[in-house]
Amino acid sequence: MAAVNEAGEAAGLWRGKKLADSLALVPELRTADHEPEADASALLGLADGCVRFSPAVAPDGPDGLFLDVTGGAAPWGGEAAWLHDLLTRLSRAGVPARAAVADTAGAAWALARFGQADRIRIRPGAQADALRPLPVAALRLPPAAQAGLPRLGLTTVGQVSTLPRAQLAKRFGASTLLRLDQALGTADEALPFRRPPTPWFERLAFFDPLSAPEDLRRAVGDLLHALCERLAAEGQGARRFETVFHRADGCSFPVRIGTGLPARDPGRLLKLFAPKLEVVDPGFGVDAVTLTADRLEPLGERQTRLDQETDVQDALAALVDQLGARLGESRVWRAAPQESHVPERAVTRRPASAPLSGFGLPSGPGWDPERPRPMRLLPRPEPVEAMAAVPDNPPLVFTWRGRRRRVRRAEGPERIAEEWWLDAAAVPAVNRVRDYYAVEDGEGERFWLFRDGLYRAGETPRWFLHGLFG
């Protein structure tokens, strides 16, 4: 049995007991299959939900969470109130939990699991005293040490901590010593936080849950204002902002925006958030909103009126961000050449707010002007029925989309070998070659046609239409 609820414990069952024994003891026992993966993902979900309490949350083992509350409890009016709010919310969400606040992660871990009460808060620096009476299991020791210490008559943390350190390390390994030091605060511990702890975090909690869209918007505006003021004071701008709406029912809705250039103008950022806020479902109400800034870059005081160039660049960046926020960032781009012979791969997309000096300008590196390229390139080449006098020549007549066209003039061929080496599944073959022709019909319409493969006697060449010149 991987877990037992309170009623089960009252009936004398415990975690790790055999199911057959348990059923013999409690015939009416109801069981469910253990799903460790579902448990783990639920724990991660809970970790994300706890972001309202701290920007830094780390899942721990199968059933624990670390929250970094350093300096973050002030909005609640102190750590005691913070702890109370945390546990109240968890129990309301149907998660029975114990929690402890201490100087070190190790001490908090020990007290939350082996302490006398459900909620424990110890004074700064008091962890040594608080840990002394706890069993050695509270130290998160390696299994060998955990089994070995009691055999020596050492059952409490206090007894272990009085042992000579050198002997302890020799007997039970350096990690035993490290765990002890981490609990007492003489060694540092790195926690795998879900988000890196960031000072660029703002939070608003509401006594009455919000649900009107304009209220949500105002909340985000207030948060942006506060955060941007701090960014300005430090001469910083950020390129990623995330706001999370924590609903009363425990769900949370993250909304992210990105900017091409570092920004800290609350009005502009709110405009980027605005279209995304419309789809936030407030449910029965949102009772906390958080805002985090990420990807910080130095951003000097703007000299908008003096520097016309920067001004125009900023305006363009603002446009790109605005369109990207509304349509999706991948839907706004600049095209840049890519080293490839195949027309489909000759273009790569770059962020549109990249500095203008590079690929954006007509003077930047471009595609070979000597090779004619169509205005419209069909997403996939469309087969056409074509008749050529000589197989090696451009067609005389072809039919595309039900219309027969007589070729009046033609240019080509431009031979392009497909890059079979990029496609692992493809077998290099002679006919992986395309001969492209630019042809003009009687009306003057221009098409980009290619013949698939080299001409070989006895085979009908296949023709495709790939683009329109216009």
List residues near other proteins by CB under 8 A: 311-313, 315-316, 318-320, 322-323, 326-327, 331-335, 337, 343, 346-347, 349, 352, 356, 359-362, 364, 366-367, 369, 372-379, 401, 403, 408-411, 438, 440, 442-446, 467-470
Nearer to other proteins, 123 or 341 (CB): 341
Name which of 249 and 307 has its Cβ closer to other proteins: 307
Nearer of residues 229 and 344 to other proteins, judged by Cβ: 344
Q: How far is CA 278 from CA 40, 219, 223, 267, in A?
A: 31, 14, 18, 17
- Residue 206 C-beta: closest distance to other proteins, Å: 32
d(CA 46, CA 91): 12
Burial 309-326 (b: 16+ CB within 10 A, else e): eeeebbebbbebbbebbe
CB of 434 to other proteins, least distance (A): 16
Q: Give min distance, CB of 319 to other proteins, in A.
A: 4
Q: Give the nearer residue to other proteins in terms of CB position, either 18 or 401.
A: 401
Residue among 267, 283, 285 nearest 220 (CA)? 267
Structure tokens at 62: 């199968």
Backbone angles phi, psi at 110, to 5 degrees: -65, -45
Q: How far is the CB of 355 from other proteins (least distance, A)?
A: 13
Least Cβ distance, residue 467 to other proteins (angstroms): 6
Pick 328 or 458: Cβ nearer other proteins = 328
191 vs 347, which CB is nearer to other proteins? 347
To other proteins, the closest distance from the beta carbon of 174 in angstroms equals 57
Order the strands of the 236-247 sheet from edge to edge.
201-210, 286-298, 236-247, 252-263
Beta carbon nearer to other proteins, 244 or 439: 439
d(CA 156, CA 154): 6
Residues 6+ apart with CB under 8 A from 131: 107, 110, 111, 138, 157, 158, 161, 183, 184
Q: Pick between residue 289 and residue 407 the one whose CB is nearest to other proteins.
A: 407
d(CA 51, CA 202): 11
In the complex with other proteins, the residue whose CB is nearer, 211 or 313, is: 313
Smallest distance, other proteins to C-beta of residue 279, A? 15
| Of 158 and 360, CB closest to other proteins | 360
As a whole number of angstroms, the distance between CA 108 and CA 114 comes to 10
Token pair, residue 268, equals 């502009």
Question: Least distance in Å: CB of 305 to other proteins?
Answer: 13
Pairing type for strands 99-101 and 119-121 reads parallel
Q: Report the distance separating Cα 319 and Cα 326, nearest Å.
A: 11
CA distances to 85, 126, 418 from 288, rounded to whole Å, are 12, 32, 56
Cβ-contact 257, 276 below 8 angstroms:
yes
- The CB-of-273 to other proteins minimum distance in angstroms stands at 16
The minimum distance between CB 373 and other proteins, in angstroms, equals: 4
Position 216: which residue type? L
The string of DSSP codes covering 108-174 is: HHHHHHHSSSSEEE--TT-HHHHHTTSBGGGG---HHHHHHHHHTT--BHHHHHTS-HHHHHHHH-H
The dihedral built from the CA positions of residue 70, 191, 255 and 288, taken in this order, carries a sign that is: negative
